[in-house]
Amino acid sequence: MSANRLLLNVDKTEWLLVGSRRTLSSLDITRPVLQLGGNIVAASDHVRLFGVDIVSDLSLDRHVNNVSASCFDRLL
């Protein structure tokens, strides 16, 4: 990135450790961090990508809850 004179916006940078529930529970890592240059970015529990909430175990529970809540508000 430095060759193109681009800067990393640490406030907007997110990363997600993805795996099955079994695999994630067997890891000893509690909150992994990623070091990019001099910046440290902590892993997120979930990220929002193109309007879809993605959780680390790839379940759709959080996304379905958010969509259902927004639809319920429109019905009232």
Q: What is the pLDDT of residue 15?
A: 86
Taking only the tens place, the pLDDT of each residue in 34-55 is: 888 788 888 888 888 898 888 8
Q: For 4-14, what is the mean pLDDT?
A: 81
In the chain, where the domains are located: 2-75
Q: What is the pLDDT of residue 65?
A: 87
pLDDT at 76 over 70: no
Is 0.85 surpassed by the pTM of this model?
Answer: no
Tell me the C-alpha distance between 23 and 30, whole Å.
Answer: 13
Q: For 16-21, what is the mean pLDDT?
A: 82
Kind and range of the H or E element at 14?
A: none
Q: Are 19 and 59 in contact (CB under 8 A)?
A: no
